[in-house]
Chains A and B, each alone.
Chain A
Amino acid sequence: MSTLTVTRATLMKDLRMEWRSKDAINSMLFFALLVVVIFSFAFNPTAEESRMIAGGLIWVAFLFAAVVALNQTRARELRNQVLDAYRVSPAPPNALFLAKAIGNFLFVVVLECLMAPLFVIFYELRSIGPVWQLVVVALLGTWALVVNGTFFAALSIRTRSREIMLPLILFPISIPALLGMVDATTTILTGDGTPDFGIKLLAVYDIVFTAICLMLFEMVLNAE
């Protein structure tokens, strides 16, 4: 049985469960919507101001929303101690990690697709730089959030205050990625310079942390 087969089976199972319960998507959407609307009314920015602050605002909203999704998907594995069934099986531990990370990635990407029009409407956002670069930043940035998020969600699974523990560990380690995302997004939106540095930073961050998470996940899964 290959890692790919188990990854696919676990991913399909997670997508089916999410399709039925919509726990992660609903809670993320509600949270991100609140952030967009409240900030819009609180600051009422002009189009020019929006371009300057949107990079930070968008990614902070997605970071917080991703934590909500991570908590939901982790809760599924805790219910009925179903994770034990995976641990006693001969299935490769990394397959579980990859399936969870890809699943969370898809959930956040769906959220981003739903929220993008709202950002445009509420903040009168018009990108001066090429939009396709925003897509690249969004994909790399989202992976950066979920790869560590999935790993630390598994790490904090046996701690008492896991809902608090996850952001407490995840946010500091996400700061380099967040800086890359905000810098690249703001540069593209304002058309002021090139986003190359931010994109390269995100790509390196993704590769390094995906490799570290894959190396350490078996230990985390079997920790008591």
Chain B
Amino acid sequence: MAGISEAHSQPVIVLENLVKFFGRFAALRGISASFAPGRLYVVLGDNGAGKSTLLRVVAGLMEPSQGSCTLLGAQRIREVAHRVGYMGHAPLLYDELSGMENLRYFAGLYGIYDDEVCREAMQIVGLDPNLTRRVGQYSQGMRQRLSLARALLHYPELLLLDEPFSNVDAHSAHEMAVVLGRVRDRGKTIFVVTHQAALMEGIADEFVHMAAGKIVRREEVTRVTGAATSESRSTR
């Protein structure tokens, strides 16, 4: 039992002196941090703070220029790819296919061939699995929901979401935030990069503030049945 509880408390992400250069511009400037499992982290910061770059490095879509990123205990992110879900700033969906066709294809990439899984993922985000319309004809909100369904398809332990609420109406955004809260309650770890901090209040466990390529402050939130108190610590 001790082994299990120890494994559960091990950090999901460990960043050590993470640096990322684009030419001579440093988008990430020596980030060192670790993140515990089963929590919902909201990464905040101005444009150009390095939030999306950090998420892409963690997702394995970019190699860091220096430093290392350990994800679910693995140095090579590809080894744990089946345990990670990623939702990009763009929807990462094929416009020419329907929602179910998209999910069926992406589920196949994770070795899932059960249509019921795709239907369930669509229902979780509030979309009708019987919708035959192509994604190109979806509204922006529907695309974002479907994109979230795609990221959730394979029941990932770690969910990385880049601006999931952008261009989404207030009602849909709130519904998506509630879905994320439920996923976290099932023990999953979630990283949300967003400008809409207000949406995540009462749901987030920790706000991670970034500026100029660094994590400048981590603000832990204690959630007590809807109410939330916060305690912040600077990591500057």
Residue of B nearest to A85 (CB): B92
Chain A nearest Cβ from B117, distance in angstroms: 14
**Are B93 and A82 neighbours in the complex by a CB distance under 8 Å?**
yes
Q: A34 contacts the other chain (Cβ, under 8 Å)?
A: no
User: Is A90 a contact of B59 with CB atoms below 8 Å?
Assistant: no
What distance in Å separates the Cβ of B54 from its nearest Cβ neighbour in chain A?
Answer: 15
Nearest to B150 among chain A residues (CB) is A85
With A84-B61, A84-B86, A84-B88: A91-B109 Cβ-Cβ less than 8 Å: yes
Q: Interface readout for B83-94 with A: 1 if CB under 8 Å, 0 if not?
A: 010101111111
State which of A1, A9, A10, A88 has its C-beta within 8 Å of the C-beta of B60.
A88
Find B62's partner among A9, A17, A76, A224 (CB 8 Å cutoff).
A224
Given contacts A81-B92, A82-B92, A224-B62, contact A88 B86 (CB under 8 A): yes
CB distance from B55 to the nearest CB of A (A): 11
* In the complex, number of A-B residue pairs with CB atoms less than 8 Å apart: 78
Query: From residue 70 to 90 of chain B, which have CB atoms closer than 8 A to chain A?
Result: 78, 81-82, 84, 86, 88-90
Chain B residues with Cβ below 8 Å from A91 are 109-110
72-131 of chain A: CB within 8 A of chain B: 76, 79-82, 84-91
Q: Please indicate which of the listed interface residues A1, A80, A86, A87 has the most CB atoms of chain B within 10 Å of its own CB.
A: A80
Chain A residues, CB < 8 A from B155? none
Q: Does A160 contact B (CB under 8 A)?
A: no
* Given A17-B96, A17-B97, A87-B60: A6 touches B91 (CB 8 Å cut-off): no
B105 part of interface (Cβ distance < 8 Å): yes
Contact A81 B88 (CB under 8 A): yes
Q: Does A200 touch B at the CB level, under 8 Å?
A: no
Shortest CB–CB separation between residue B190 and chain A, in angstroms?
A: 16
A79 to B61, CA, bound (A): 17
Judge whether A44 is part of the interface by a CB distance below 8 angstroms: no
Q: Mask for A1-44, Cβ within 8 A of B = 1, else 0?
A: 10001100110010011001100000000000000000000000
Q: In the complex, which residues of chain B have a beta carbon less than 8 angstroms from the beta carbon of A80? A: 90-95
In the complex, how many angstroms separate the beta carbon of A4 from the nearest chain B beta carbon? 12
Q: Name the B residues within 8 Å of A17 (CB-CB).
A: 94, 96-97
Contact partners of A85 in chain B: CB under 8 A? 86, 88, 92-93, 106, 109, 150
Taking CB atoms, residues of chain B closer than 8 Å to A86 are: 109
Least Cβ–Cβ distance between B34 and chain A, in angstroms: 21
User: Which B residues lie within 8 Å of A90 (CB)?
Assistant: 78, 81-82, 109-111
Q: Chain B residues in contact with chain A, CB under 8 A?
A: 59-63, 78, 81-82, 84, 86, 88-97, 101, 105-106, 108-111, 134, 150
Given pairs A85-B92, A91-B110, 6 additional interface contacts (CB within 8 A): A9-B105, A9-B108, A79-B94, A81-B90, A86-B109, A88-B81
> Can you name 19 A-B pairs with beta carbons within 8 Å?
A1-B108, A9-B105, A13-B105, A16-B97, A17-B97, A79-B95, A80-B90, A81-B90, A81-B92, A82-B90, A84-B86, A87-B60, A88-B60, A88-B84, A88-B86, A89-B106, A90-B78, A90-B81, A91-B110
